[in-house]
Amino acid sequence: MKQVELLRILIEEKAVVKLLKTIGSKEYPTRRLLKRLGAYGYGHKLLLRAERKGLVERTTVKNKIKNKLTPNGKRVLKLAKEIGV
């Protein structure tokens, strides 16, 4: 992803950035992630949006979907910390 696209995500998708901060460097099952985020319906839509943008990778392991950051997601987090978002 280009730097411009990452900046656009930071500006337009503040809720997605919060989701990425919640995931951090860990790998979360979807239910535990949404419970920690505190938003089930809207949080799940954000999670799917982040997956479409290539920020989160979702894998199925024994009937559970695990979520972790992709390299692009980590770049967005690093940029958010540098800017102070």
Domain ranges of the chain: 3-83
> For 29-48, what is the mean pLDDT?
90
Q: Are 10 and 3 in contact (CB under 8 A)?
A: no
Question: Is 45 in a helix, a strand, or coil?
Answer: helix
Which of 58 and 11 is assigned the larger pLDDT? 58
Percent of the chain with pLDDT over 70: 99
pLDDT digits (tens, 9 = 90+) for 7-28: 888 888 888 999 999 998 889 9
Fold (topology level) of 3-83:
Arc Repressor Mutant, subunit A (1.10.10)
